[in-house]
Chain A
């Protein structure tokens, strides 16, 4: 692929990731979950096993689309106590890398820093997110989203209570 083609591809992926980050920071979770395909998977491995496989290992989160929608319904509820009232978050997405997999899919990775503030306290979630993005019409959809945390444990936050 030409250099121009590569940057166009990266721009497309970045636009998508920036839009996703904005939706999450604004707590527009219903719109966010609509970015996923029906066969999507959202995985957050345990901090002590970043390469963890949910089919074999203990992870924090392994959602198919049914559980992901339920997670959003939960986070929209005032009974989701860890995020009710909601925390303030600000996401920074950088070091975006894109690769074509063929079959109309893009393999994308990005470094992500999310500052979360709540209850007089604030701390970052830091890590990398790997995506499989599928072209749909002129847009992209998330078929796979694996968010790997760099922290050694959840000492600051006590939970993965927001979407990382």
Chain B
């Protein structure tokens, strides 16, 4: 099948379909590695994960083993995790602190800024041996935005701020909630889903599945006295689904219950009431009523195209998706919290996270199940198409209307055909 035919996007009739080979084909998987993962900015980690000089973290990003380390000059550098001498991994733990980086094969050693500083028996290499040819190698491009560090294997990629397009404002809405910046708490949730990675990008933005798939979560919350009865979709505030340009998308909801930053609800306990009111006053003073409303009273599931999600609702989760095979992805989730929060404020937030989120939460396991179920269903190859048309003719699409998922797929399709950024919207709201 020709790549251009993999997606049906009939904006007049309101029909959007994705051919299921996009989730199963090994050829397409190889091509999307080259055309998407090797071209875009890909999330690496958060600055707070390496607070002290010498702190490092190891990651696999778009298939490459990498690590990032804070230097004595306080700069964060990213290196390919492979010795320039023979290839062994330099960094062999997920996290730690090092003053000098030494390869365990022939004991070549490197400074935290990547310079080769020690070679046992260096004389044997003769007079032309040049240490500078053996510095630790960095990915072609490295950049950060407000504490979020990204890499790109495309030397010609646009700068990160341009790349983020309309997603930048939404990242600001997350980061600005904190008075003294954000930090990632220790511990991460790492799990594998036997499904194509794009299904999780979709699912993370999909408001339509909340009530049917996550009924036990909704019932649990309702039992605690929140306004989460299993009423019809029509009775719920619609929120907004938006394509932000460049494949970035957001699903924005009006919170009817509490939000850990500054929207109090009895579920958080009386103790939290005055504390959250104080935070709210601070936010209003600094950002005004309207922006405070957006930070405190609305929630957002933000996709930074192609494979990073910032889930800012019951708490803030950074969710990174590493595609490993057409039918397999590795997910890592971290919890982002305001640095100034400790004691009861932090406890409330940590607890709120675990209700919905994470592979031990009351909702994420059901998403894992549903994506694996879709992937298994795709083996019925005679059923060729998945439908993502919902709300395509709605001029004000809500979170159940799937515009945000079409935004992701339209950019994916453009990239797969060798085109760059696209900002095609539905006809109804173009």
Q: Which residues of A are interface residues toward B (Cβ below 8 A)?
A: 44-49, 52, 54-62, 66-67, 70-71, 73-74, 77, 79-83, 119, 152-161
Contact = CB atoms under 8 A, between A and B. Distances in A.
Given A58-B189, A61-B360, A71-B362, 6 more contacts: A58-B185, A58-B187, A70-B220, A152-B190, A155-B191, A161-B365
B386 interface: no
Given A70-B220, A74-B216, A159-B360, A58 B350 contact: yes
A54 B368 contact: no
Contact of A62 (B193, B350, B364): B350
A160 B359 contact: yes
Contact of A49 (B186, B217, B360): B186
B359 A60 contact: yes
Contacts of A62: 350-351, 354
A91 to B, nearest CB: 18
A49 B334 CA distance: 12
Interface of B: 94, 185-194, 213, 215-217, 219-220, 223-224, 330, 333-335, 346-347, 350-351, 353-355, 358-360, 362, 364-366, 368-370, 372, 376
A48 B190 CA distance: 8
Contacts, number: 125
B318 to A, nearest CB: 11
Contacts of B191: 153-155, 157-159
A81 B366 contact: yes
A79 to B, nearest CB: 4
B334 A58 contact: yes
B223 A81 contact: no
A57 B186 contact: yes
10 contacts: A49-B187, A55-B350, A56-B350, A58-B350, A61-B354, A70-B223, A74-B219, A81-B369, A154-B192, A158-B359
B354 A57 contact: no
Contacts of A119: 372, 376
A93 to B, nearest CB: 21
Contacts of B366: 80-82
B315 to A, nearest CB: 10
